[in-house]
């Protein structure tokens, strides 16, 4: 199939066509021509969209689907469709399934389920067996089968020595270790950020200290062991400062933050809507602004939707017992586009995630493999339940104003549009 993208503004700092409006011709999955005007021929699939922008394909490094075990939340097939229509050409899938992705066969199952899809699925293997934090999982075998990193999703590694050994062991095959930043003893039974709003509402608080003390420990261990450490979904001002200082010392540490922590604060707790119950929790305006500055100055490398479908039975209950998590693929770009310029968004959704997780970056240039995200930066909507593509409806952004939207993707020789 030959695809012609008409009048597309290219957002790709690595491309000689960056910030220019061009026609893009794709044949057999390869960009064959980029010109001011390319004549349409009968056998072309010509795509003309309002205010079309094109960048290298986006990669979400923290996505949860239900399958296997929780298919009622989201199947792999529907999840990949949601990702494509939300502009993501790749997703890293967390090991919070049943059974947990802690073996070679579990990794291969996920990859097999995503065969021949437009979106490439990259499994994240469990760091410890059954994500129980006791015995290290089969890291090398999982990597050989296709796992791109190792994490006990949303579960901190409480055993200091276990994390130390994992960081040392993973260096033998250039493995990437993820450590969720939460000290469970300090966090206790908290369900929201420890602050004025939680106190006013009578909710048990999770201190910012619970995150920061864990990050400090992880950085001390990394300094001792060497290796590569990624700290996912940081949420506080001091966490940004700790990681910035570690980078200045030359430690090989990277981090991400979630879209919702960049947009929303614990003011959303008012009303006890369990859709706003996430982990880490929504923090203060001071924390939110520090996260935004961390993205802008490069301390925070990656932005993730932290997409986590939860069925209604576990969300429409009392706030304190509701399950943590929000879906986020559909709203990621529209939310980020309200606070960042397009180059920053593409860097944090595409260039940096691929580099950190060991995936080759492509470029929007002639003779390059076509792995592209198609989007508009102009339209504005108030997001509502009818806009949700996921099976689960637990979106933290319902009722929020979003700017711009993803049209879809071209990847793996497939064009998927959400129009």
- CA separation for the pair 212, 235 (Å, rounded): 9
99 cis-preceded (ω within 30 degrees of 0): yes
Give the tokens for residue 80: 């990949």
H helix or E strand, kind and range, residue 214 = helix 208-225
Looking at residue 313, the DSSP 8-state letter turns out to be: G
Contact 361, 371 (CB under 8 A): no
Residue 270 has which token pair? Answer: 């008012």
Using an 8 Å Cβ cutoff, are 226 and 167 in contact? yes
23 is catalytic: no
What are the residues whose beta carbons fall under 8 Å from the beta carbon of 107, sequence distance 6 or more?
101, 123, 125, 142, 145, 146, 147
Which residues, at least 6 apart from 236, have a Cβ–Cβ distance to it below 8 Å?
208, 211, 212, 280, 283, 287, 290
How far apart are alpha carbons 226 and 30 in whole angstroms?
39
- Residue from 418, 359, 406 nearest 88 by CA: 406
Cβ count near 398 (within 10 Å): 18
**H or E element in which residue 379 lies:** strand 372-382
Both tokens of 17, joined, read 């066509």
Closest CA to 389 of 92, 78, 62: 78
DSSP-assigned letters across all residues of 236-264 = SHHHHHHHHHHHHTT--EEEEEEHHHHH-
Q: Which of 218, 306, 341, 367 is catalytic?
A: 306
For residues 280 and 278, give the distance between their C-alpha atoms in angstroms, rounded to a whole number: 6
Residues marked active site are found at: 306
């Amino acid at each position: 199939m030959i695809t012609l993208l008409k009048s597309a503004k290219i957002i790709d700092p690595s491309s000689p066509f960056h910030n220019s409006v061009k026609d893009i011709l794709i044949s057999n999955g390869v960009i064959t021509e980029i010109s001011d005007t390319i004549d349409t021929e009968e056998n072309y699939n010509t795509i003309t969209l309002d205010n079309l922008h094109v960048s290298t394909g986006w990669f979400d490094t923290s996505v949860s689907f239900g399958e296997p075990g929780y298919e009622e939340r989201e199947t792999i097939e529907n999840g990949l469709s949601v990702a494509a229509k939300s502009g993501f050409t790749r997703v890293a899938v967390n090991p919070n399934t049943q059974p947990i992705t802690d073996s070679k066969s579990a990794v291969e199952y996920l990859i097999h389920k995503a065969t021949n899809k437009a979106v490439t699925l990259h499994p994240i293997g469990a760091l410890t067996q059954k994500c129980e934090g006791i015995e290290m999982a089969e890291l090398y075998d999982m990597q050989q089968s296709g796992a791109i990193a190792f994490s006990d999703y949303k579960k901190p590694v409480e055993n200091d020595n276990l994390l130390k050994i994992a960081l040392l062991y993973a260096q033998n095959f250039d493995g990437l270790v993820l450590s969720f930043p939460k000290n469970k003893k300090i966090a206790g039974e908290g369900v929201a950020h420890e602050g004025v709003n939680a106190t006013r509402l009578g909710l048990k608080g999770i201190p910012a200290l619970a995150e920061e003390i864990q990050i400090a420990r992880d950085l001390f261990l990394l300094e001792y062991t060497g290796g590569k450490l990624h700290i996912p979904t940081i949420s506080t001002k001091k966490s940004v400062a700790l990681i910035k200082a570690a980078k200045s010392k030359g430690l090989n540490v990277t981090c991400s933050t979630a879209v919702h922590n960049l947009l929303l604060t614990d003011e959303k707790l008012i009303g006890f809507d369990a859709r706003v119950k996430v982990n880490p929790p929504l923090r203060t305006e001071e924390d939110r602004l520090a996260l935004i500055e961390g993205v802008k100055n490069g301390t925070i490398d990656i932005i993730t939707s932290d997409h986590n479908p939860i069925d209604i039975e576990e969300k429409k209950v009392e706030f304190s017992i509701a399950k943590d998590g929000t879906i986020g693929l559909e709203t990621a770009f529209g939310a980020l586009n309200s606070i960042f310029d397009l180059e920053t968004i593409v860097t944090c959704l595409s260039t940096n995630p691929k580099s950190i997780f060991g995936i080759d970056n492509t470029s929007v240039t002639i003779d390059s493999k076509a792995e592209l995200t198609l989007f508009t930066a102009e339209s504005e909507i108030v997001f509502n339940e009818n806009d949700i593509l996921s099976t689960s409806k637990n979106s933290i952004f319902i009722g929020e104003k979003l700017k711009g939207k993803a049209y879809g993707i071209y990847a793996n020789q497939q064009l998927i549009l959400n129009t």
